[in-house]
Amino acid sequence: MSEHPKGQRLGRGLSALLGETEPAENVAPNMNQDNRVPIESLSRNPDQPRRRFDEEAMEELTRSIAEKGVLQPIIVRPIPGGGGYQIVAGERRWRAAQRAGLHEVPVVARDLSDREVMEIALVENIQRTDLDPIEEARGFSVLSEQFNHTQEDIARVVGKSRAAIANAIRLLGLPSSVQEMICDGRLSAGHGRALINTPNPEEMAARVAAQGLNVRQTEELARQASAAPETKGRSGKSTHGKDPDTLALEEDLTRRLGLAVSISSRANGSGQLQINFSTLEQLDDLCRRLTQD
């Protein structure tokens, strides 16, 4: 299948996912538009980008399917040689149906290329509500960069604004350590967007997390950091008021203590070490560690 030029509508595979009408020749031979097949005749797509399934959500889906059955057909494609069907979209429903003890599930079979299958898998995952912001941003980025879809097209398919797509993809410009903090919930996507253009996002992220700053406070902190006078450190690298050695020491202490550390120095060699905490428990833990023999 040829590449989609920028600005062209999304491909046939995504149309299948959205339930749009497919030409009859694109439906798999000997398969009705909506058919029931033995559950054991289906197999998962080994290239499915999603690997993690939330257990609580799976239990909820299993209870629903046990009570009402599989209401939305699973999209599949025939495995060459008559070896059953490969799941294109709907692996969660298939897994939950097995847990619920179902013997058959409704399917819609399509003759889809590997490219179309990957597009559908990406969009189905993005449309789920339990993705973290970085997983979602990566999905948008692949659809845009690898499959050449415009942000307007992606926005239409996933039900978001074009600005939301652009802002999500911007998060991928953050250092990997900051992205990890967003993935595990220590920072929100709003925090991440505020930190993108700061002089040292990793140091700022550690400080925001340690102090428990909200997004508005983080935006103000980022504004102040970006407005700091620019100087030259001893290495000749451009810094914002602190040399690279001081910044590295701040990062190391912040990482070791789990609290935001700020160091300021004067020309005569004196200075100040500031350790920020956001709860009394953090202060107690710091005092305990400092007074250990």
Report, as residue numbers or ranges, the catalytic residues.
91
- For 173, residues 6+ apart whose C-beta sits below 8 A from its C-beta are 196
In the chain, at which residue ranges do the beta strands (DSSP E only) sit?
Answer: 35-38, 42-43, 74-78, 85-89, 104-109, 231-232, 238-239, 260-265, 271-276
Q: How far apart are CA 131 and CA 50, in angstroms?
A: 10
User: How do 271-276 and 74-78 pair as beta strands?
Assistant: unpaired
**Alpha carbon 218 to chain centroid, angstroms:** 21
Residue 182 CA neighbour count, 13 Å, CB half: 30
Q: Which two tokens stand for residue 193?
A: 């967007």
